Structure 1
Amino acid sequence: MGSQAAMLPPNYTAETVPVKTYTHPIAAFFHCAAKVAAVISYLLCGLFSSSYVINFVVTAALLAIDFWIVKNVTGRLLVGLRWWNDVDEHGQSTWKFESLDQQALERINRNDSWIFWWPLYINTLVWTALAIIALIRLNFDYLVITIIGISLTTANTAGYSKCRKDAERRAQTVGQGFASSLFQAALGVSLTSSNHFLPCK
């Protein structure tokens, strides 16, 4: 897995944001609205059109929009994370991650973090439940739509979960390296000080 330092919005390095507000309210709104719109389209599209093709296209388009918003916009703005998947000439895929530095991540608004992660997880569960219902009803046409929903939402959920773990691992590595440097510096000072003592006769 690769990891790179991200070139992300400079406002993350500013002073701590008040907890009671959202740093990016518009991003938070569209993060939730796109998910709700896709689910509503799936559940209610049949009331406005009897054409399965129209229902499929509208819902799939909304799912794709939600996937794009989460992957390219709200993850970067709300939690300081970004992921993508590279495929080399041999067909092997590699996860790539970007994240803010640890100090900036610690200053991220808790409300922004909450509004990002909970809808992300809940959306995956909702599409899984809809798939189970469609399967029980033997409604295979709409089962296809739910499979698309599960695929896209799971991709973002897995990608950002891996990205967060990668950021935590790198922060832990940096912390251990800093502690090791302090220990070595202290040990060096101790050895230098001991050289000032004369040997006993």
Structure 2
Amino acid sequence: MLRQDSSDDIEDVSLFDADDDASRRSKKSKIRHPVASFFHLFFRVSAIVVYLLCELLTSSFIACMVTIILLLSCDFWAVKNVTGRLMVGLRWWNQVDDDGKSHWVFEARKVSAQRSKSSSEAESRIFWLGLITCPMIWVIFAFSALFSFKVKWLAVVVMGVVLQGANLYGYIRCKVGSRKNLTSMATSYLGKQFLRQTVAKEDQPAS
């Protein structure tokens, strides 16, 4: 089924023709893809560690910058093409049709009510924890570099924010749907918070 919003196209299609029967029967708490789980965190955590320690390990800014960018690039590719598909059944990419029009495609594995999820809860927690936490750390690095006038590091931290933020945004779109759904979710959440505060104030006894 194809859904359109104001800026791009979102295609909701199944990821695979068949799932691994053995993984379907395993327990939800078990890590079924340990290699993917390891590399989901390895590249992004390594980039952060190198950024924090590079000035202690070497005086060469170029060597540090190249190492960090290589780690960020490997992380972007691995998370976008491998770990998201294996760990949580999500995948996103951009394609250009015959007319030259760009389409953003966001896929989510369809799970029937008769069978359990092929991804485990442990893997899902690892995936989303790493996906959300690391971009936030790079945002902190960006403000730190800006306010401390470390101009030469701004390109590196901006690269970290852009690459890891792109994966975060893409997988959120895969998880919750189109931008309209994102807006409706935010509006619904704010409405619930406002209603809860209003009810709490009305329940308070008058002094």
In the alignment, structure 1 residue 120 sits paired with structure 2 residue 131 = yes
1:10 corresponds to which of 2, 19, 33: 19
- Secondary structure (helix, strand or coil) at the match of 1:153 reads helix
Q: 1: CA distance between counterparts of 2:162 and 2:55?
A: 23
Larger of the two Rg values belongs to structure: 1
- Secondary structure (helix, strand or coil) at the match of 2:12 reads strand
In structure 1, the residue matched to 2:155 is 144
In the TM superposition, residue 61 of structure 1 has moved relative to its aligned partner by 0.4
- Secondary structure (helix, strand or coil) at the match of 1:83 reads strand
In the TM superposition, residue 106 of structure 1 has moved relative to its aligned partner by 3.7
Q: What do the CA deviations read for 1:26-77 (whole angstroms, capped 9, x no partner)?
A: 1111111111100011111122221211111110000001111100110000
In structure 2, the residue matched to 1:131 is 142
In structure 1, the residue matched to 2:104 is 95
In the TM superposition, residue 6 of structure 1 has moved relative to its aligned partner by 1.5
Aligned partners of 1:20 and 1:111 also within 8 Å: yes
Q: CA RMSD in A?
A: 2.4
Matches within 5 A, 1:1-201: 1-7=10-16, 10-11=19-20, 15-87=24-96, 93-103=102-112, 106-166=117-177
Aligned partners of 2:28 and 2:119 also within 8 Å: no
Q: 2: CA distance between counterparts of 1:15 and 1:76?
A: 15
Query: TM-score if structure 2 supplies the norm length?
Result: 0.73
In structure 1, the residue matched to 2:7 is none
In the TM superposition, residue 91 of structure 1 has moved relative to its aligned partner by 6.9
Q: Give 1 or 2: higher helix fraction.
A: 1
Q: 2: CA distance between counterparts of 1:89 and 1:59?
A: 37
Q: Does 135-144 or 105-114 show the bigger shift?
A: 105-114
In the TM superposition, residue 105 of structure 1 has moved relative to its aligned partner by 7.3
- CA 1:94–1:87 in 2, change beyond 3 Å: closer, same or farther? same
- Secondary structure (helix, strand or coil) at the match of 1:82 reads strand
Q: 1: CA distance between counterparts of 2:141 and 2:58?
A: 20
In structure 2, the residue matched to 1:196 is none
Q: 1: CA distance between counterparts of 2:92 and 2:104?
A: 7
Query: TM-score if structure 1 supplies the norm length?
Result: 0.75
- CA 1:111–1:9 in 2, change beyond 3 Å: closer, same or farther? farther
In the TM superposition, residue 93 of structure 1 has moved relative to its aligned partner by 3.5
- Paired residue type of 1:153: Q
Structure 1 residue runs of 5 or longer lacking an equivalent are: 170-201
Q: 1: CA distance between counterparts of 2:125 and 2:88?
A: 9
Q: 2: CA distance between counterparts of 1:85 and 1:18?
A: 34
Q: 2: CA distance between counterparts of 1:45 and 1:8?
A: 45
Q: 2: CA distance between counterparts of 1:39 and 1:9?
A: 37
